[in-house]
Amino acid sequence: MKLKSLVPQSGFLLVLRFLALVLWSFPGARTLDNGLAMTPTMGWLHWERFMCNTDCQGEPDSCISEKLFMQMAELMESDGWKDVGYEYLCIDDCWMAPKRDSKGRLQADPKRFPSGIRGLADYVHSKGLKLGIYADVGNKTCAGFPGSFGHYDIDAKTFADWGVDLLKFDGCYCDSVEHLEKGYKHMSLALNRTGRSIVYSCEWPLYMWPFRKPNYTEIRQYCNHWRNFEDVYDSWQSVKSILAWTSSNQKRIVDVAGPGGWNDPDMLVIGNFGLSWDQQVTQMALWAIMAAPLLMSNDLRHISPQAKALLQNKDVIAINQDPLGKQGYRLRKEDNIEVWERPLSDLAWAVAMVNLQEIGGPRFHTISIASLGQGLACIPDCMITQLLPEKRELGFYQWTSDLKTKINPTGTVLLQLAAT
């Protein structure tokens, strides 16, 4: 009698899996119609590591100059970064001259960028990479250089003429919420009118939150990705605060993300100074779960083999770049253990278990397989592979099984559950 009863139950469970696939495949909110960022943007951005260092005489190897970006471009091509998907080399603030030119156009600092942005773009393109640049919706950039307010159309045309492929558009020195919203919309339309494919990275919701809740459905119609929270720092406290904000606001932000438009929790600081190895694993794993843009901010000239291997981990990058395009979310938190999950293509799931406890040694955590993937991840069974902190096959698990893992303090175990 028991064997007979399993047949209809198994068939019912398989139907549930099929329905889950159909539901997850529904498109999200309407997106910016430029055909870009169909998976999260990957690349390198200078800000967290190099900030606004303009002292090229005193610090020639770390100032914001064409030399720095050319060196990074060379390494992105030669050291395997481009091959695994890191495609955009992005300039942040402090590249500009203090004033616009006689025709009202932005211009690069002539001493630090003697070839101009057009020359730098040509060099970056010759390496098979794309160039990103920075501007601001307000009267000045955050560092005090010329802003784009009142110049949106000419700035968009200038960027296109230079061969720019991505614009990070900040929100400093804007005198009203109305100007902020109109400015972000105006620049989006201006970029599209140039006819050049330029990824549009916004900070619109970050600057909206102090005044009112952002309209993410509207933001997605104008931006390819958008910052929600404060800048990342090279510290565990900073990474923790970003994860805490994301999980506490996930009901508002998760569903709006998808191909063409992504929530941006800011740069990867892996390979720098402030994170332990386990904390670097946590950032990489959770940025993959969150379908976040993977924009490194580090010094590729001086990066450890261990950090490089983590950032170039093809299995983790595949989760981040999964074509289903669904952002993951925190499933539960109990006793300083968080469980995050993300639906993937082909009925697979990614699961991350994070140990937030900062005292003591590794902790064991047992989880019911039936509780994962909205109860559908392993029906009737699945193959589970641990991807981080190191890769190993854990084997086949049935829907009724439990899984026990060991997680280091501030570390993460990243799993992939594949349908069989």
Q: What is the set of active-site residues?
A: 170, 231
Q: Is the preceding omega at residue 259 within 30 degrees of 0, hence cis?
A: no
Question: What are the strands of the beta sheet with 412-419, ordered from one edge?
Answer: 329-334, 337-343, 349-355, 412-419, 381-388, 392-398
Q: How far apart are the first and last CA of the chain?
A: 26
**Residue 152 buriedness (CB in 10 A; 0-12 / 13-18 / 19+):** buried
Token pair 């910052």: residue? 227
Q: What is the rounded distance in angstroms from the CA atom of residue 398 to the CA atom of residue 369?
A: 7
Q: What is the rounded distance in angstroms from the CA atom of residue 365 to the CA atom of residue 360?
A: 15
Residue 282's nearest CA partner among 114, 418, 373, 413 is: 413
DSSP bridge partners of 334:
337
DSSP notation for 139-185: SB-TTSSB--TT-HHHHHHHHHHHT--EEEEE-TT---HHHHHHHHH
> Where on the phi/psi map is residue 178: left (φ > 0), alpha (ψ -120 to 50), or beta?
alpha
How many other C-beta atoms are found inside a 10 Å radius of the C-beta of residue 286? 24
